[in-house]
Structure 1
Amino acid sequence: MLLACYTHINFTARFSKEDSQEQLFFAEIYHCGKRRAPSGFIVTCCEPLGSDSAAGQKFCKPDGSSVVSNNADFTYCFACTERMLHPRGENYVAGHCSIPRVYDYVR
C-alpha cells in the first residue's frame, strides 16, 4: 500500500502593480511521483486566506466547537501546528483525521 503524502504551505503574493498589497495564501501539494505529473507533484488546493482562517491543531486539544464524523473534522487540520494557517472547510484533502496522535510522526 502506498501512503499518500501531502504538504501544506503558506506564502504571500501580490499583483505586480505598484502599491499592491501582499495577500497570504494556503496551498496543498500532493506528492504523486513523476509517473502522474512531470514535476512529481500536483497542487490540490491554492486559495487566499482571510480573517476566518483556521490554525493547524497538531498537539492541541480539541475544544469541542466542531463536528467530528467518522474521525474526520473538516474545520481544522490536525497534521500542522498552529503556525500554519488553513482555509476553513473541505477545500484541502489532508490533515482532517481527528484521531489523537495519528500525525505524531508527520513533520
Structure 2
Amino acid sequence: MPHFDPHYADKLRGSQGLADADSVLDLRGAARAAAEASLAELIERSRFGEAKAVAIRIAAPLPGAGETLFQPVGRALLEAKRKGHVTRLAPLPAGDGLGFFVRLAGRSGKP
C-alpha cells in the first residue's frame, strides 16, 4: 500500500495472524468445492466446541488462473458472521500471506 503510512497500512491489513491463532485451515492448492466443504465443516463443528481463533490461508492469485478462493471463502465467512458463528473476521497481516483471521463463537454463540 504505497499511499499509506506503514502504521496505517498495517492496521488495514489486520493485526492478528498465524501466531495468534489456535489452529490453521490451509486452503492453498485446494479446489473450490473442497475448500468450501472444509470451511463449512469447520464452522459447523465450531458450533459444538469451545470458542477458538483460526487462521484461514488461501493461495495468492496467479496471472491468468481465474478466480481465487478469496470471494467464496469471504462470502461464507460473512454469512457465518451474520448467523453469529463468527465473532471476529479480519484479513491476515501481510507477513502471514493471504487469508483471514477468524474467531469462532463456539457453543456460546447464537444458534
TM-score (norm 1): 0.28
Higher strand content, 1 or 2: 1
**Bigger Rg, structure 1 or 2:** 1
- Report the TM-score, using the length of structure 2 for normalisation: 0.28
Higher relative contact order (CA 8 A, sep 6+): 2
